[in-house]
Amino acid sequence: MHVGKQTWRFSNKPVIISTATVVGPDEGQGPLADDFDFVHDDLDMQEKSWEKAERKLLEQATQLAVVNGNITQDDLDYFVGGDLMNQIISNSFAARALGVPYIGVFGACSTSMQSLAIASLLVDSGNAKHVMAGTCSHNCTAEKQFRYPTEYGSQKPPTAQFTVTGAGAAIVAKNGQGPRVIAATIGKIVDLGIKDPFNMGAAMAPAAVDTIVTHLADLNRKPEDYDLIVTGDLASVGFGIANDLFKKAGVPMDKANYNDCGLMIFDLVKQAVQAGGSGCGCSAVVTYGHILKKMKKGELKRVLIAATGALLSPLSFQQGETIPCIAHAVTLEMEG
């Protein structure tokens, strides 16, 4: 059911019956390490290239999600996913291995909630019984593609973010046990003219605020109606800007338990990650690992995840374009 300006309310409340998260060594040294299913101890992961290592992350996450859901790959009706690599090749190749109907999507770092929203819509509408949503990123592939070659060793400014090496997958079903997907707000492009690829937080913060404000208005809710609201991944710079923008919009986020996936996944004091985490895998592994485990334990009942994405490319940067940004938000609830 469409409500308000940009929100889908799911009448049948699709359930996330299983998830899986696979991460790299830096994430395994962070504060959420115990919440991930598998931690690799090196970035190569016994592959010949970082690009193949990124694909391996997602293949492992999708396989684990199937096992954790106590189903088979044949039970999956669709796989919805995307990533940051050229033409979302990590997901396309993982989908080849998965062998189920595939819907490739691109929302940059917002892809985790974009894919989850679409998967939930397919199930809620009755067009599928089991749909997997998944995404991934790798620090070395993203840095090489969007900034400087990793081997170059360029010094990064404090506004820069550290791309998460990780993959997260979730299986959405019509019936089962687990957190339910209640609503999703599809974001619109917000571009305030920032061109600096080393300042993603500042570029994405206005989109995150726009989507969350719209989500609350569409559902007639207040920030304190949620046990937790998280953005992903604004990190320290964007998180501060978002808080200022919420105040200007008259949204009392100070009354809410508000956090950011880019701040949660790393220890900014002990780890050299500049402003914090980013990448398609950031909000995916924080949500499907840490947050959903807290929900299953009964520590959180209603959560709003607003994943953010900077929709730039090397081509658009070379042409001197500004950075268009977007955020997609999903509400999860644990019944009982």
Q: Are residues 73 and 91 in the same domain?
A: yes
Q: Are residues 298 and 221 in the same domain?
A: yes
Q: Which amino acid is at 73?
A: Q
- The SS3 assignment for 209 reads helix
Q: Are residues 250 and 111 in the same domain?
A: no
The lowest-confidence range among 61-65, 141-145, 179-183, 214-218 is: 141-145
> What is d(CA 88, CA 223) in angstroms, rounded to the nearest whole number?
34
Q: Are residues 156 and 185 in the same domain?
A: no
**Are the C-beta atoms of residues 101 and 78 closer than 8 Å to each other?**
yes
**Are the C-beta atoms of residues 283 and 109 closer than 8 Å to each other?**
yes
pLDDT at 151 (0 to 100): 61
- What CATH number does the domain containing 110 carry? 3.40.47.40
Q: Which of 129, 158, 173 is the last residue of a domain?
A: 173
Q: Which of 173, 198, 221 is the last residue of a domain?
A: 173
Q: Are residues 242 and 318 in the same domain?
A: yes
pLDDT at 183 (0 to 100): 98
Q: Are residues 184 and 169 in the same domain?
A: no
pLDDT in tens, 78-125: 999 999 989 999 999 999 999 999 999 999 999 999 999 999 999 999
Q: In the chain, pLDDT over 90 holds for what percent of residues?
A: 89
> What is d(CA 336, CA 328) in angstroms, rounded to the nearest whole number?
27
For the chain, the straight-line distance linking the first and the last C-alpha, in angstroms and rounded, comes to 24
Q: Are residues 105 and 192 in the same domain?
A: no
Q: Are residues 322 and 254 in the same domain?
A: yes
How would you classify the pairing of strands 15-23 and 38-39? parallel
In this structure, the chain runs to a length of 336
Query: Which pair of structure tokens corresponds to residue 233?
Result: 């991944």
Q: Could you tell me which of 95, 78, 130, 136 has the C-alpha nearest to residue 112?
A: 136
Q: Are residues 133 and 248 in the same domain?
A: no
pLDDT at 308 over 70: yes
Q: Are residues 11 and 63 in the same domain?
A: yes
Q: Are residues 161 and 26 in the same domain?
A: yes
pLDDT at 239 over 70: yes
pLDDT in tens, 155-184: 777 899 999 999 999 999 999 999 999 999
pLDDT in tens, 320-329: 899 999 999 9
Q: Are residues 158 and 231 in the same domain?
A: no
Query: Which pair of structure tokens corresponds to residue 195?
Result: 């061109």
**Are the C-beta atoms of residues 116 and 133 closer than 8 Å to each other?**
yes
**Are the C-beta atoms of residues 65 and 170 closer than 8 Å to each other?**
yes
Q: Which of 173, 188, 217 is the last residue of a domain?
A: 173
> What is d(CA 209, CA 254) in angstroms, rounded to the nearest whole number?
14
pLDDT at 313 (0 to 100): 79
Range of the domain at 292: 180-333
pTM of the predicted structure, to 2 decimals: 0.96
- If one counts the domains in the chain, the total is 2
- The SS3 assignment for 52 reads helix
Sign of the C-alpha dihedral computed for residues 172, 174, 176 and 177 taken in this order = positive
> What is d(CA 13, CA 55) in angstroms, rounded to the nearest whole number?
31
